Amino acid sequence: MALSFASSTRFSKTQSGVCYSVSFTPRVTVRCCDTGKEPPRPKSKLQVGSPIIIVEAPKVIKTAASMPCLRANSGLVKPGDVGRIVSRKPKDLWAVRLSIGTYLLDGKYFKALELEE
């Protein structure tokens, strides 16, 4: 992890009748080294092919088609519905295959379904 602070200092200089404008930006960088004492982060149980269960119904749903369609969720996706993850998108957005189709859902609306052998 690196943290950088910068402030700019501006001054003018006149030499042989010509005015020069100079900008100087000092930088400070703080680095945090890994000491190895931190516990490892648990890996997400969610991956492509994982079964999931809907825990909260989203207000709007977006289809995962090549031309996506955004529509109000009028009871299509309900809490308790089960599906499988098809793909991962940026910012905790997942393509989930449900019985009614494939939709893009935020990770807060579902959780991994633990199957007992």
CA 66, CA 64: separation in Å to the nearest integer?
A: 7
Lowest mean pLDDT among 2-16, 20-34, 93-107: 2-16
CA 102, CA 85: separation in Å to the nearest integer?
A: 9
Q: Is residue 105 part of a domain?
A: yes
pLDDT of residue 41: 47
| Tens-place pLDDT, residues 41-55 | 444 577 888 899 999
* CATH code, domain carrying 108: 2.30.30
Lowest mean pLDDT among 14-18, 53-57, 59-63: 14-18
Domain span at 70: 50-112
Q: Is residue 28 part of a domain?
A: no
Q: Is residue 68 part of a domain?
A: yes
| Tens-place pLDDT, residues 70-99 | 999 888 999 999 999 999 888 888 999 999
Number of domains in the chain: 1
Q: Is residue 34 part of a domain?
A: no
Q: pTM for the complete prediction? A: 0.58
Q: Is residue 26 part of a domain?
A: no
